[in-house]
Structure 1
Amino acid sequence: MMPPAVTLYTHTLCPYAHRASLALVEKGLSPKEFERHVDLSAKPAWFLRACPRGLVPAMSLDDGDVITESLRIITVVDDVFDRGSLTSRVGPREEILDFVKDADAYGGFISSGLSFIGGGWSIRGVQPRSSVIDGLERNVARLDSLCASSGGDFLFGSSPSIADIAIYPFAERFQLAMREFQGYELGESQGAQAFVVWLAAMAARDSAKALRPNDKELLESWRRTGRLDYFDYETADRESP
C-alpha cells in the first residue's frame, strides 16, 4: 500500500511541531518530503487559508483532512503509515496512548521543565526555588522508573514509541537550556541514570539528528532574547536559528 501524501505545516524550531516531524521521520520520510515551514512572526496568507486557526503543527493528508494538535498528529501518523508501529510493537498500546494523552498535563514533565527554566517560555538564568526543582525531579524520577523497567533504552521497550516522541523535543531543549543557564544536568544531577541513557539513545537516532538545529546558534538566540519561543516573534528556522 502506498503511504498517503502528507504536508506538515510547521515551524522547524517549535517543540510541538518537532513531535510531528519526529514521528514522520521515524516512519521513514525525509523532512524535505513533508515539511512546509511557516514564519510564525509573519504568518503568510496561504497558511491562514489552509489552517485558519494559524497554529502549528497542522497536518494535511491526501484526503484533504487537516489534523491539528501535536499529540493527535503523532497518533494519526502511527495509524496511517504502515512502516513499523510506534505503539504496539514496543509495549502495551493503551498504556502508551495514556502516556501520550497526559504528556502536556499541568505539573507533568514538560510543565515542570518550563517552570524550572524560567516559567512560561522565559529564560531567567537563575536557580529555581527548591519546590520547582523538586517538581522537575519527581517527574524525571517517574520517567527514569519507566525506562529502567522497560527492558530497553526507551520508555516502553527497545524502540522508541509515540510516548518518547511526545516528550523528547522538550527534553532536548531542557537539557541544553538548563546546562547553559543554570549549570544543571538534566537527569544526571539527581542520579536518574536510566533517564540519562534514554536522552542519549534518543539523541543518537537519525531522526533526532536530522531535526536538531545547531546548539551554539540556538543558545545565542535564547541568550539574546531571553525566551525559548523567540521564533514566535522573529524570523528563524532550523537552518538559521
Structure 2
Amino acid sequence: MTAPKLVLYNSNLCPYAARAVLALAETNQEHEVVPIDLSVPRPEWYLKDINPYGQVPALKVNDEDIILESLFVAEYVADLHPEAGLLPKDALQRAQTRYLIHHWGARTQPAHHKATFTADSAEAAPLRAALITELEKVNSLLLDAHRVEGDGNGPFFLGDKFTFADLAIAPFLGRFFLLGQYNDIKEITKDEFPQLERFFEWKEAILGRASVQKATPSQETLTTNYRKWVK
C-alpha cells in the first residue's frame, strides 16, 4: 500500500500538537510541516480550508482529507504503522491507555494549571496540595497497569516499550517544571513525596526519550511563553 501524503499544521509551542509530532517521529512517517503562529489571528485560508476553530494540530491526508484534534491525529499515524507498537493490541491495555489519558486531561492537568499559574503563593499552596493528591492517583494508575507477556518491567506505562499513553502525556510532563516558576511554592520532588516514586520513574523515562526532548522547547522558551497565563 502506498504511504499517504501527510501535511501537519503545527505550532512548536503547543503541547497538544506535540502529540502529533511525537507520533510522526516514533513511526518515522514522512510528512511536511506547515507552521501556524498561535500568537496572532489565524489566516483566513486556515480557518476556511483546514480547521474552522483555528486550533493545531491538523493533518491533511493526500491533499484532500483533514483530521483534527491531537489524539485523533496521533492515533491515525500510529494506526498507519502498527509495527511501531504504539497502540497496544491487548483490549484491557487499550482501555487503560484511554483512561490514563482521559484522567490526566480531565483531572491532573487542570490541577497542575491552577497551581502553576496562580501568582499569589498563599492561594497557590492549597492548589499545590490538590495537585499532589491527583498525582497520587496517577501513581496508582501506573502501578496498576496491566502487563502481558513480553512487556517487561520497564519504566513506561506498559513496561519496556514507549507506547501511546506515554506519547499523549509526554508534552505535559515536559511542562511540569513550570510549577513554581510564577509563584513561591516549591516544586514537587520524589524526595519529599516518596509515595510518588512510580510517577517520577515514569516521568523521568519519558523526558529522557530522544523524540520527546526534540519535540519539547527549552525551559526558558516555555517559561516566557506561558507567562501570559499567570493570574
Q: Where on the TM-score scale, by shorter chain, does this alignment land: which range?
A: 0.7 to 0.9
Q: Which has the larger radius of gyration?
A: 2
TM-score (normalised: structure 1): 0.77
* Partner SS for 1:180: coil
Which shows bigger deviation, 40-49 or 14-23? 40-49
**Percent identity of paired positions between Structure 1 and Structure 2:** 27
User: Could you tell me which amino acid in structure 2 is paired with residue 97 of structure 1?
Assistant: R
Shift of 1:208: 0.7
- 1:219 and 2:205 aligned: no
Q: What is the alpha-carbon root mean square deviation over aligned residues?
A: 2.6
Cα gap change, 1:45 to 1:115, in 2 (>3 Å): same
Cα distance in structure 2, aligned partners of 1:96 and 1:47: 32
Cα gap change, 1:218 to 1:92, in 2 (>3 Å): closer
User: Could you tell me which amino acid in structure 2 is paired with residue 115 of structure 1?
Assistant: K
- 1:38 and 2:36 aligned: yes
Which segments of 5 or more consecutive residues in structure 2 lack a partner in the other structure?
A: 146-152
Query: Higher RCO, 1 or 2 (CA under 8 Å, sep at least 6)?
Result: 1
What whole-Å deviation, never above 9, does each CA across 1:141-194 have from its counterpart, x for those lacking one? Answer: 1222333455321122222222122222112112x2115334533452422122
Asked whether the 8 Å contact 1:187–1:193 carries over to 2, the reply is no
Cα distance in structure 1, aligned partners of 2:2 and 2:72: 22
TM-score (normalised: structure 2): 0.80
Cα gap change, 1:63 to 1:221, in 2 (>3 Å): closer
Cα distance in structure 2, aligned partners of 1:79 and 1:185: 37
- 1:201 and 2:202 aligned: no
* Partner SS for 1:92: helix
Aligned to 1:126: 121
What whole-Å deviation, never above 9, does each CA across 1:83-130 have from its counterpart, x for those lacking one? Answer: 41212168722221333344422xx11111111112xxxx52625455
Cα gap change, 1:63 to 1:82, in 2 (>3 Å): farther
- 1:58 and 2:58 aligned: yes
